[in-house]
Chain A
Amino acid sequence: GESVGLHLPTLSVQEGDNSIINCAYSNSASDYFIWYKQESGKGPQFIIDIRSNMDKRQGQRVTVLLNKTVKHLSLQIAATQPGDSAVYFCAENSVKERAGSYQLTFGKGTKLSVIP
């Protein structure tokens, strides 16, 4: 079954506001997490990642927070722009027993709509 999920399937925000997209995961062995952005008709695009030895990581206008205690991941987008409209996925990546075998498990996705 799925081990990664999202609280909010859709999110509408006003242009210029901050967006927060949440994700819950259940595999405590996961040591690496990634947020992807998928625009219509395109493949998932890497946004930001974080390893389990960190609780926060910042990029350009984006911040990922990891709370291992409650197995929660969030993506914060500052000053949301129309170009941010897309479906956002969290994914967890755990190393399988066989060396070198990584597999990304994706959450259901949150559709972010930015209102101009």
Chain B
Amino acid sequence: DTAVSQTPKYLVTQMGNDKSIKCEQNLGHDTMYWYKQDSKKFLKIMFSYNNKELIINETVPNRFSPKSPDKAHLNLHINSLELGDSAVYFCASSSRTGKAFFGQGTRLTVV
């Protein structure tokens, strides 16, 4: 069983569209995250979320919004996609120990 799974693996869309990436974890973790990896492989946190609070990296545009229907899911919704949003997006989850487990990534290409 995949611990952290995200869909789709690849997403190609036009500028201005709205899209969502789904993430699910079956580890029973309380905290989930979204990371963005740019073309230089740099991983930058976008959001961390548990059942108590959402922490937003202040550099993330408000076009990006996480949505959590329950503790096992944290979806990423993006409005009005821009060319610069093209990247690989990773979902992750962790327990209180801090060890994070990552999904396989979603490669978003905005054309």
- A residues neighboring B (CB under 8 Å): 32, 34, 36, 38, 41-46, 49, 87, 89, 93, 95-96, 98, 100-106, 108-109
Contacts and interface: CB of A to CB of B under 8 A. Distances in A.
A55 B6 CA distance: 35
Contact of B100 (A38, A100, A104, A109): A104
B43 interface: yes
Contacts of A45: 102
Contacts of A32: 97-98
A44 B43 contact: yes
Interface string B1-19: 0001000000000000000
A28 B57 CA distance: 21
Contacts of A89: 43
Nearest to B40: A108
A108 B104 contact: no
A96 to B, nearest CB: 7
A42 B105 contact: yes
Nearest to A36: B102
